[in-house]
Structure 1
Amino acid sequence: MAKWMSESTNAMETLARVHHLISECRGQAFFDQAVEALAELLDVPCVLLGRSEMGTRRLRIVSRYRRGFIEHEGVIQVSGTPIERILADGRPYICDRAAWRRFPQDEELQLCRAEFYWGAPLRDQGDGEILGVLALHAAEPRRLTSAEGMLLEILGACVAKELEYVRRGEALRELQRKFLHAQRMESLGALTAGIAHDFNNLLTGILGFTELALAQLESADETSEDVRLHLHQVLTLSRRARDLVRHLLLLGRPEEASERSCALHAFLKDFTALLRRTIPEHIEIELDLAPQELILAANPVHVQQVLLNLVINARDAMPQGGCLRIQTEPLQPDVLQTPSCTRVQERPYARLTVSDTGTGIAPDILPRIFEPFFTTKGADKGTGLGLSVVREIVHAYGGWIEVESEPGRGTSVHVFWPIVRESEVHMSPQEPEQEPVPKGSGETLLLVEDDPTILRLGERLLEKLGYRVLTARTGREAVDLYARHRQEIRLVLLDAVMPEMSGEQTLCQLRALDPQVRILVMTGYSSRDQLKDFPWEATDGLLLKPYDLHALARAIRQCLER
């Protein structure tokens, strides 16, 4: 049936064709010519090259020659086919006759009443992983000659090597894509920090001038009551905007948060109120809280980050609507001593559960959901970092996560947070409005600020606090003023970011004039880390913008009393 193999001329043509294929073609062209060459040289109507999909019972078609045409698209369900056997056994399979009777579930074999079938796994030459399958069939019974077997072995090895090359190229491109995405995220972070810096300067002015206006209205007549109420609203909203900026900037930097306790139920009520304005209306939100308040040994910012990721995943799993349920429950360590809970400590825990009635997670996908960059969403919908970050945050506090899911019925994510021990409970600091404002006693302060609005505001606030104020809009002006008044000036309030002479240069020149000078640095950035080269060790304090009268007064008093 393959007389060409017995003739030297045809043998030479075969070798020449194989050599051309191996040396001249790459990628898809190689695969297409390989299946076409096998079909013609072995005189078979169908040759399949498929790529295995990890964790599934499917084979994706790379190239299939069928009755004179080449196909590239499609997926083959391998259950009940010879391919299932090849993938399971990891070795070639040959059927000389009646293949269609042996595999009644294989629609392709049934359609052409295939008698003969041959298939072999294609392995990575490095780690031996099965990359795919090369298979062919014919309607007539037959036996492969040794030459035909050698041809299949040679081409099979070449196809496997090319698949390996293609896969590595895809992995490299995916790595490059993730690297570019990381660069874009880094650029976005820098842009966000810069915008936040300018936004904080604006909020500083709004907060400060509102407080000054309220102070002046305190002695006014009753007709100004409405004005006072309106200004209180401006003040409240400005503080919320300040806190929002700080929370957003902290999301990417968990290590910067200092607060270590969270009243979970109070937090969830506010969080749920926010969700009701952001989650689509066709998703119902249920809140099922334990009878008593639970105080987590965790920062509220991180609890919010964890919940936000879980809620977004739950929302995406319910495109047609459903129910999102958030539930809390206190647990004692004695009920958690199971082999899977290796992180359990001798302390009480809170179980925070986020459940949905969505699509669920397939069993073969479930073990991978916490892997960095693993995502089942499209490239424009997810980075694959959300759950890996969630796990790292929870682990950092000594907690852990368990996931239950059933395809078509939904998912429940259980987050186990440690509850604050009695010995760890401390009195919450009083709200700034309830503290007495530390006043000055006529001390002279030098205020250095390039923004004229913030400079004027700072001067008014400092005078209201009982200080004598000298002002400078540039670093050079500040150095000159300090040189003339160094015996009077008790403290320098220095903006960290200024044009021309920078805050860092100004600080160094002031220290050169007087090593004992006290300097309180002010910045619109959210932390020291965003000014990495700034000589923080040479400063006496840090005041983050936007600040209000209370924060300004406390920061000054702390520096003066050091």
Structure 2
Amino acid sequence: MIWDWDLRTNSLVWNDSVETVFGHKQNRIYPEIQWWRDHLHVQDRDRVIGGLQAVIDGGGTSWSDHYRYRRADGTYANVMDRGYVARDNTGAAIRVIGAMTDITERSRSEAAIRFQAQLLNAVQQAVVATDPDGLVIFWNTFAEKLYGWAADEAVGKPIEELTPSPFLRQHASEIFERGAAGESWTGEFLVQGKAGKAFPALLTTSPVRDEHNIVLGFVRVSIDLTERRNLEEQFRQSQKMDAVGRLAGGIAHDFNNLLTVIRLNTEIIMEGLDPTDPRSEDVKQIRSAAERASSLTRQLLAFSRKQILQPRVLDMNSVVSSVEPMLRRLIGEDIVIGSSCTARGYVVADPGQLEQILVNLVVNARDAMPQGGRISIETQNVELDETYTSEHAPVVPGRYVMLAVGDTGVGMTRDTREHAFDPFFTTKEAGKGTGLGLATVYGIVKQSGGYVWIYSEPGQGTTLKLYFPEVSSAAAFKTGEYKIMAKEQARGSETILLVEDEEAVRGLTSRILEKQGYRVIAAQHGREAMDIATKEAGHIDLVLTDIVMPGMNGRGLVERLAGIRPRIKSLYMSGYTDDDIVRRGFIEPSKSFLQKPFTSEALLQTVRKVLDEG
């Protein structure tokens, strides 16, 4: 049975248990402390009243006693009574809240109390009860964990002192007004615990009222939002990177078609000029600019994860050891580079792209140490458990091979870390970098099914950790050797079905192939190519097709052609592809691929290679 004695008004209120336990009707109880005193057994009255008053006057916070209390039928019950003395900031007693228990039912009541306490302590949320003035009267186990205060430290103290929050102070009147109206209040805000470190929390506070709608106190339930906020931020970052990646991939695709036209035209012009012609130098400058632009689009494709990878099952340690001599030539004499490769097992990745990753990371590390320093390269096997992945969404638990590159350079601020993978973002001075180094790393790792994280603080250096899923077998993909042949050897007389939706690329490609003796049948899209293949009476040796086209894509075309011309060979070309060839991360090892923008030599070499394959 709960009672609440307001020392300022001398009023005393009881909960409904006063009737069920002792038989006293609420409407016949005089709402003052004297009613309680009158029902004490005459032999216990002075002792009980004196003991309670001594606690109040002596600055105590808790009181308890056993005594006899008169029921409505005139009999006496043996009771255990406990009270908590609430005090204001000056220490003056303002309220006593208590619970009276009929010890006849003591065992059952104590078991119920223990169960309720266990329930509240089992809740994985901070549950705190306060009196109407905000003094803590209950503090569960999770509240101890969340805020750092032990229950015996918290009980009796103002909640504002234990969990200071400017937001709560500003909205205290609103919370109280809602409570007085019987409404709950829920809000998110920054709050501090015992350690003084602020963290985001979600709080719901609800009033506890008696049958007369008098507010007996408040129950506050709160949870830490730190992990949720981190996951939300990682999700936003992932969405941003995907959006920028789609934009970058689209730009690169369009530019690669334009660059194909520029590069092929410059080659045709160069063939028609005498080497001593002063215009040949101008054409070379155009070709050089196109090559640099091609390099930029390759990096954009890497970032957007829309490049064609040719992966193999490989040993990460072997990649590091093979590229390390070249890396040493990239850094100055005042920088020491060391490696510790302890990983065992294999990963599926494009070895050329892994080498590109190492070059980009080492160059970045070098530039971050203008006064010299140390670069470390490390590989090791790691098991990422659910604890790690819960803090690093969207990482999947499992076994990984980690590649880490660290430096002792200037480090990064938080803002720099947040934008480090953005394409064209750079902290280097004008002309010193494109801002695509880390963007390229990010794209390659993500397209390879891995994850990358930056660990850096200003003045403390930077470490990038790359995680690639570990595979159990070392059965590598078989890839043919690309042998350079003379231009005369690249000639042929076979019939080639050329399918390309960009008119300029289609025309130049036909021109180059026909000049080398091939018979070329050009089609603008897949439907037209199928019509040609159906009606053409002669033999078609090769279909050279773009992958992304309106309507039927290149892969669908090749599969349909195989149905009517099973001996036809195929060669894909693209600036990037967005169909499931790339969504799976690579084209099949058995398929040949020509990356735009290509040179006439690369075109002729690749066509001849595919035609000569058995």
Normalised TM-score (structure 2): 0.46
Normalised TM-score (structure 1): 0.50
Greater share of helix residues, 1 or 2? 1
Greater share of strand residues, 1 or 2? 2
